[in-house]
A and B are shown apart, each in its own frame.
Chain A
Amino acid sequence: MLVQVPGGWNPLLGRLAIDQIPYTNPILAPLFVAVVIGAVIILGLITYYHKWGYLWKEWLTTVDHKKLGVMYIILGLVMLFRGFIDGLMIRTQQVWANGPQSSGVFGAVHGYLTPFHFGQVYSAHGLIMILLAATPLLVGFMNIIVPLQVGARDMAYPYLNALGLWITAAAVALIMISLFVGDFAHNGWFGYAPIFELQYSPGVGVDYWIWTLELTALGTTLGGINLIATIVKMRAPGMTWFRLPIFTWASLSANIIALTSFPALQVALFLVACDRYLGSHFFTAGFGGNLMLYTNLFWIWGHPEVYFVILPAFGMMSEIFPAFSEKPLFGYITMVAASFAIAGVSWLVWLHHFFTMGAGPDVNSFFSVATMLVGIPTGVKVFNWAFTMYRGRITYTAAMLWAIGALFLLLVGGLTGMMLAIPAINYMVHNSVFVIAHFHSMLLVIVYAIFGSVLFWFPKVFGFKLDEFWAKTMFWLFSAGSVLVFVPMYMLGFMGQTRRLDYVFNTAWHPYLVTEEIGIAVYCLSVAAFFVLLYVSIRDRVKNRVGQDAWGTSRSLEWLTHSPVPFYNFAVTPHVNARDELAWRRHNGINEAQPTQYVDIHMPNNTGVAIYIGALTFVLGFALTWRMWWLCLLSLVAIIALMIVRSWRGDPGYIITAAELEKMEREAMQRQQQVEGHLPHHGGQAVPGGAMAYEGQKVSPLGTPPSSGGDHH
């Protein structure tokens, strides 16, 4: 049944042997040493400060959607950094290996990366950025915000939520370990048939790629189920469909895409695995296989996936614009309709990724027109945002700057997408760096929206604001970097530079490549600004503490509970009376009203099972990659056994009694009172809306609503 692999194999270690560890590689070996030292220091510090118990109890076994969301986001940020380093390496190679005269080191004829190593770097870069950076970041935000926005205590399935996180973490671990054990795929992030077949890629790289993708697909599918169920089933009373906050709508449309499209990816990759492990002929060049079948299956997932990542970003922008324009979102219903239109059309356009397959004029025309249709709902969104800002009382907070930046990028990316959607143009620029510049504009929309959201929702999750000055510094540096990298890239695309070049023959392009490299340097500065931002904000956290409604102008339900959000979210389930509930309450002067009576609430218990299963999926992926059959079987059996044990035990949950709840609420209220006493003195410049909203207000004692309202109209 199983195919014979080239090279050694033994029953115990599979293909793993000492020569698979690149200890002589001049780049990887020092990196490995650095990672080991870093890990030892971190683990040492945790042990020294006796934090293992805390870590295990509060984070690793948690089923709290906010903590899981925070971990998703941290994971995403770490991978964003790793992906950025990959990008830096790619750019450096191209500016170095330019022209026949260019020098070469570390065994490369030109530049410092051999073609094989370069191929691994760009493959990892793409895969990481889309699936292990953008996706976890967005899923993390959806995790934190959606249950709060619908007024729920947690996600519909808290345990499944933890499972999704740990499976995603396993995928991250798998791709990270491929740095030091064996190598990674060199077939691009989306892979080509038949290059990934065993004859042409005999190493383990492609196998790492397959199992990393399979694990993320699994994690994201589980997360998608959970989010849809949360939105459908967990809404607070009064939260009718058309009162649903717009970010929640966006999450719903995005997760419907995820749920229906990820299986296509899972199957595509599974069939590649069948080819490589069982010797089947799905995508082989002979024996009746079909090369383009793979490309079709991949992009049937791939295009919906790009909308899966952009729709939540649109949702984030739709929350940020109204809050800092002090106006309700313009065209709420059309915004919802546009999200679903985009989600629907995203299924009908996959072929635009390979017009050059040559399917003929009728097929290409169909997909061309379908692709351009996406522009209509997207245009609706852009105009809605513009009209939201129009005549609004705009505050240029850093979050707002990121959102506005995203809007500009969307314009650039969308219009170049339209150009690519015309087959006649596409034949000219397909597989050129013009395409790369297009989708980086688009993915930058997501990155901008995410940084905007980090700033916007950070005070909700942690109870204090991030420093505005450094956030803005970071924004401008990042934007300068984006312009410097991607404007020359568009130009080079027109001049004919194809993508993925490990050696750039044309020396006339040198100035452009240098400009891009300068852009990378500016990006590095913005990364540094980000670290300073974190440092300064944490240092000044006492000064920057906020109350429930951190910005004073926010609109939806998540701002109705304390900041940071207590683990039970809402002491009493809010009853929703309006779209933009908080804005409505503020407008009517009842935003500070507190519940008068508490009842017991039922909460889920923490569990270690999720992280154990996550770890086992990592072992399974690793064993499959290295073909250690006994370990595959063992980990699979262990996973199933754990699932059975968990199902046997169930989770009775535990009760927070009304008395405990009241005590915790009273304490939170007192903390808040202290904070709000300070507020007018701080951040007054940066967020006048925020400061003014608190003016002349006293936090009412439990029960009695305050006499005067917050909105300053």
Chain B
Amino acid sequence: MDFKLSEEQKKFRQEVSDFLEGEIKQGLWEPSCDAWIMGYDPEFTKRVSRKGWIGLTWPKEDGGQGRSYIDRLILTEEMLRYGAPAACHWFADRQIGGAVVHYGTDQQKKELLPMILKGEAYVGLGMSEPDAGSDLASLKTKATEDGDDFIIDGQKTWTSGGSNMNWIYLVARTDPDAPKHKGISEFFFSTDLPGVSVAPIHDITGGVHFNEVFFENVRVPKTALIGVQNKGFYQILNQLDYERSGMERLMANYPLFEALVQYTKETRRNGKPLSQDPLIRSKLAQLKIGLEIGRMHMYRVAMVMDEGRAPNWESSMSKVYGTAFEQRLAGTAIEILGLYGQLSPQSKRAPMKGMAYHSYLSSKGYSLQAGSSEVLKNIMALRKLELPSQ
């Protein structure tokens, strides 16, 4: 057992952090909560790509860096610490590139990976549907074979970044007669096709983050199929482990934590800084403790992946833990701000750019997206603890 990062890893962390601080100093962007999923900044993504920081863990022959998941965790941890606008490449880098590396044909790798590596694939994840949430396998969107093509019909919803995407990763039913888990396939294709339309949904913060996506007679070539036809559901389960495992499940609103600590040091009430109020100190210390425990969960997941295992219950555990932490952070921030906590980012006198307000509202979705906490606890109970299903 060894909790130390190697010298190389420490240097890498420093390099990432220097890069991000440099960007902030140049005024290229401002740190914000949820920037990994809401901060669309194509230029930033290009600079990250030039650093070689997309596809870090992919094999070298596929254009990646062949580095460890711990290294990637270090990279994403710094991105989140600084609230960097990484949404353009996040999904493609985290999940879709890996799926192509794993399940793609040589031809697909040759066509798709360079585009992802260059940071040019703004990917939406088309999984959920109005009647298929947690129970994804009950999805209805159809992909029907027609010569060299599939014809796609149906609707996806809650597609994050749908208004910015140029590619979509889509799960659709390819065998309507098979049992529901066994007739699903995965596709990856450009959204610049006739029949694809996107309708934004305003989320609870009032912003546009997720979308409805409609497919009407959309013709995609068979080369858009990823992996084995009708085996898509099993491929997805594996990808979901990766979707769940990231540092964003703990540090999505980290900039709020730093700002909050700073705020309590600088804000005086009743003649002394808030940070000297015993109750507030205790709340902040509890947050710090919760954060550090969460980081250990996250590092464990990365280590499991480095061992070549799929982190199924470990990533469930860390995601449930991490998202609950993020929600607690947002709630505690409002409590500490008191009356000021209710001011929106657009309001006069809003402290910390209204981050607490925004985060409190947006964090409600954290324990739903990528597997609700309840579903993930089911996974822990059945797979880790081997409790009976009936």
Asked if A and B are interacting partners, one says no
| Residues of A bordering B, CB below 8 Å | none
